[in-house]
Chain A
Amino acid sequence: SQTIHQWPATLVQPVGSPLSLECTVEGTSNPNLYWYRQAAGRGLQLLFYSVGIGQISSEVPQNLSASRPQDRQFILSSKKLLLSDSGFYLCAWSGGRYGYTFGSGTRLTVV
């Protein structure tokens, strides 16, 4: 069966520090992968999606970037975090009747 792993679960980082969140998928090949963010009081905002290795599409201009170095690995990064980057970050892959399957999320607090 397909599973998606996302880590870390929580992260507190100072303003200006770098960020790296990792997501891996098991049990499927060539998945479409997505990074979403849920800011306080807001809905789910699509940040990046990828249809294959090295293929990244950005949905909104921001302080973040994404990379897909391997078929089932998706990384969200920032060189210098801002306070506004705080939020709940979700990785997802698409396939099957359930639309998307989400990871358990990372709570990022920038202080």
Chain B
Amino acid sequence: DQQVKQNSPSLSVQEGRISILNCDYTNSMFDYFLWYKKYPAEGPTFLISISSIKDKNEDGRFTVFLNKSAKHLSLHIVPSQPGDSAVYFCAALAHFGNEKLTFGTGTRLTIIP
């Protein structure tokens, strides 16, 4: 049962344009969402997060949007840079549950110079 889904396994975007990565979840108990970035042969690193009490969080070139009614979140990267090429994982957490992160399957983003 995949509670967090990233339906696009890969995405290619031209340098300078906007990259939009999508994530859907099914568990209504999730109240905190995170995005991680992973380069090959390295551990994932934290990118940005959002609490369920918000619908948007912005940090530099990265913005995460949360639509609770649709159980959908998205990560926007603008402008996209070659160094953004990586696998991006969406993750969700239920603070009043077991507090374990549930990860999506990841989206491989390739920025085309």
Contact = CB atoms under 8 A, between A and B. Distances in A.
A43 B43 contact: no
Contact of B43 (A32, A99, A102): A102
Interface in A35-57: 36, 41-44, 46, 49
A99 to B, nearest CB: 5
Interface residues of B, number: 23
B52 interface: no
Contacts of A42: 105
B85 to A, nearest CB: 18
Interface string B58-95: 00000000000000000000000000000001010100
Nearest to A43: B105
A43 B93 contact: no
Nearest to A59: B100
A44 B36 CA distance: 11
A43 B100 contact: no
Interface residues of A, number: 25
A105 B44 CA distance: 9
Contact of B45 (A49, A88, A97, A102): A102
A72 interface: no
Contacts of A94: 99, 101
B46 A98 contact: yes
B49 interface: yes
Nearest to B47: A98
A101 B34 CA distance: 12
B43 A97 contact: no
Given A99-B46, A105-B42, 15 more contacts: A9-B41, A43-B104, A44-B89, A44-B103, A46-B103, A92-B43, A98-B46, A99-B34, A99-B49, A100-B46, A102-B44, A102-B45, A103-B43, A105-B43, A107-B41
Interface of A: 6, 9, 32, 34, 36, 41-44, 46, 49, 88, 90, 92, 94, 97-105, 107
> Which 9 residue pairs are nearest across A and B when measured between Cβ atoms?
A102-B43, A43-B105, A98-B46, A44-B103, A99-B34, A105-B43, A102-B44, A104-B43, A43-B106
